Structure formats: C-alpha cells, structure tokens
Structure 1
Amino acid sequence: MSKTDFTLPGTIWVASDIHLARQVPQTCRVFYAFLAEAAVHADALILAGDIFDAWIGDDAAVHEPEPWLREALEHLSETAKKIPLFIGHGNRDFLMGPALARRLGATLMPESALFQTDVGPIHISHGDELCTHDVPFQRFRKFSRHRLTRQLFLALPLRVRQMIARRARKTSMHSHGTKPMYLMDVAHTSVSEVFRTHPALIHLVHGHTHKPKCHRFEDHGAQRCRWVLPDWEWDHPPFRGGYLSIGAAGITMHRYTAPDSMSAPKPSFAGKTGCH
C-alpha cells in the first residue's frame, strides 16, 4: 500500500466545498450540526477540500484565530476526537498544512488518495486538478502550489496575506462569470487517466464543480462511477448541502437537512442518489 492509500472499513461520510467563513454564519452552524451527526453515525469523515473559503496559512489558526475560525476549529477538533477525520486541499484552502492537521488531530490528505473501503477502492480528490480544459487556471494552480511560491507568500505579514486573499476572491468571482461552463468542469481525459492508472477502480469522488451527481459510464472496458459532491450554502438561496455515505451496502448521495431547531430552509438538490 502506497503513502496515498488508506484503509477505512465501516461507514464513511464524504463532504466537500463547505466554504466556512465569517460571512456565512448560518452555513457554519448547519455544518457544525452535520459534524455532530457524523461523529455519531459514521466511522470516519473525509472533507475533500474547500473546507474554508480561504486559507492564508496555518499560523492564522494556531496563533489567535478570529472568533468564527476558533469556533470552526473547535468543532472539527471535537469530531476528530470521536472518529478519524481526513482533510484535503481545495483550490481555496490548498495552504492548509501539518500544523493545522496537528491542531485538529486530523490526517492531511495528499492531493489525491485511494481509500480501501468495504465497497472496494475509491479515489478521492478535490477535483480542480481534473479541470484541465482551463489551461490558465491549471497554469496558476501549478505556480501557486510551487514550494518557493508558498514560502514567499507565507513569509508575508498576516494582514498582507488577508488583503491578497480578498483580492484573489474578487478576481475569481469575476472570472467564473465570464468563463464558458465547459472550462469549469472536469475533462473526461483527466478522469480516464485516473482509471487507467488504477484499473481496479470503479468509483471516483470529487467536489469543486458544485454539480452533485453520479455519472455512470464505461471506460477502459469497465463500468465506472464518477461521484460529484455538492457544495454547502445556507446563507443565500438556493439553500443546499450534502454528502456521500460509503459502506458495505454501497454508496449513496444524501442531501443534508438541518435540525428543525435551526429553522433552516430545505436544501435545493434532490434527496438521494445510489450507485452500487
């Protein structure tokens, strides 16, 4: 088993694209309720990137975090005390590092990982690495993740990094409004390459595109399933959130319904999708 392989028997929950931030308090509260349920009903929880809407360095979490961030870290840490918690890099929080993982008691995943589960091997990643049609984005992605670039950015004062992150967020929002839709979706050639690399693989799971669905298709002579995780949004309509459950009975996509005490609206995407 390679360093990117993990063995997780039992029931596994997988979620992505929560985008925790000070500006989305209701999304945070609903997600904390989800964490509490995961700690009771799941044997492990995998968060496949963009857990945070932005991450400017582990020092922001370790040394005097803002109140909303302190609360988020406490809920994640409490979950990790009860079940194994895996956190993965997204395009927004790729600067999460080992200091954060230690702070939470979580396992920091590599860019993509193979999980040996009760339904067989499952490949899990954030998914932005599969959007290879978008050449400028992939070029920036490679540059921003370079070791030297990361070191230079993390050496900047915290306030400067916060300013850069806000500006990058505005640029990203404008860019998404002008790009053709196909550029922001995964490329089939990239997905096919994952299955070519892992011939025994049936299920591939990712987030990033915010288009929850199970895509069934044939690739390299075998039936495959590509699961796309939903994003979470409870502060502005359309309200939504959800996760995958993986266990001996198969894989199911669930919409998450917030506890009645929160008076949260119903999520907008369909209830359950199965692929066994």
Structure 2
Amino acid sequence: MKNKILLLLLLTLTIISCEKNDPVDDWARIGHVTSHTYWEIPSSTVNAGSNVNFVAQFYNSEHMLIDHMEVWYDVNERVELEATCPIVTFKYTKNSDVSTLVRENQRINSYEFKESYWSSDLRAYSVSSYFTTSNTLKQVEWKEMTEFDPEKYAELFPDTFETAFKRDLYVELNKTEKFSDLRKLIVDLEVMTTDEFKECTDSVFNHNINDWNYFVKDDCKQMIEDKYFALPFEQLIFDKSNMIYKLVYSKSYLLNATYRVIDISGATGISESKKIELN
C-alpha cells in the first residue's frame, strides 16, 4: 500500500513539473547536462523598435548536437509620477514609482545553428546576431508643461495622486516652523489678503528660541483649510518664475532577456538575464 501511495505521489509531482515547463529544472532533475551559455550586449539602453545586437558563446560538454538557439524576454512597465510645489520655501515633492510585469517571458527570436560557428581559439561556438524590440514600447513622457491639460492629467494620473499631494502638503504647512510658508501660499495664490490672514493669526513667545511662534487661531482653522483644499491642483504646482507646471509623468519599459541554446534532445542551456531599458 505504501509503495502505491509513493508511486502516485511521484506521478503527481511529474505532472506538476511538466505543467510548469521549467526546462532547466526538468533536465537537471533527470541528469542531462545543458549547454554552457554566455552572452554580451553592448548597451543596456536602446530605442524601442530597434534591433539589439549581441555576441553569444556556448558549448556542450557532452558533445550533444545543437539544434537551434532562441532569445526570450519578459516586459516590465515602469510608471513614474512626480509633482512639486514651487511656491513654498522648503522642498515638497510627491512621487510614485510602480513597476508591473505586462508581458510574460516568451520567445522573441529563433536562430538556426551552424557548425561554422565553432571557434578553435575560444573552444566554443560564437555567434554575433541581434533580436528585435517593439516600437509600441517607446517611452512616453509628459512633464514641466507650459499649459496644463486637465483631461490629459486625468488620463495619466490616478485620482488619489492629487488628493495625497494636497493632504500631505497641508500637513507640512501646519507645522509650527512652516507657518511662514502657509501664509506665503495662501497670500500668493490670492486665497486671502495679507490683512485677512493676519486677522486669523496669533502668537506666543518661545523662550527656547527667544522668538515668537505664530499660529492660526482655532476659529479660523477650518475656514483656511476649506479655502486651501478648494484650490485647483494646478495652482499648487505652477512655477511662476519659469512659467511651467512642476509635474512629471513617465512610462518606460524594461526587458529581462536571456539567450537559450537547445540541443537535439531538447535540453536547454540558458544564459544569465540581461536588463535592457527601452527609450
């Protein structure tokens, strides 16, 4: 009975392994030696849609005949968002950087094997070739624009970005040491006049620093907060000195590529992965 259970378990593991289709693990488990594979790519940054040149070297210690070679890669999308408030004297920037696998690892190009690739000097097969990339993976940028497009902003940025930007900036502005920045922002953006804001402030002497600490009166706090959060987002990121909006959107793609050598038995030797950034 124990033998039957063990046999059933082994069969189940074999089926699961086949479904995963991990060639390196499969061949290593049953004792096959895969081809030793190495490759170099001159540049880790290329233009989307262009070919990527490479040089590969490989050999098989068991003298198993090579059938063909392949290049595989997955595609990762990276979206970077950034907004800065140039009105305040301290540095305030809200950013987001998210990478997502958008295309599973798959074969991109296949190459015919030739015995003429053998190099006596290297004692290995040596191949110079290229693989392709897609023009649809071109980098997209929208940044530091002279005119703010609310429709484009809504298309590229999540609703939560503006909310988080305003919320966290207001938290900073409510700190005692940043009172002058709160006053500057409220007055510069014409939310209140200097005199109106002054009517909403009070002060207390701080003996530790031998100076006055200014703050917003309790009965004015909600009113100022409401006026602040009613401000259009684009006003908070507008740089009057340079007449631009301090906003950045960037979507780019990263490939994780491998070179594969497949012998006539189906055993696959896989090179180390190369990271390639697309412009």
The alignment's TM-score, normalised by the length of structure 2, stands at 0.18
Higher strand fraction (1 or 2)? 2
Q: Which structure has more helix as a fraction of its residues?
A: 1
TM-score (structure 1 length as normaliser): 0.18
Structure with the larger RCO, 1 or 2 (CA within 8 Å, 6+ apart): 2
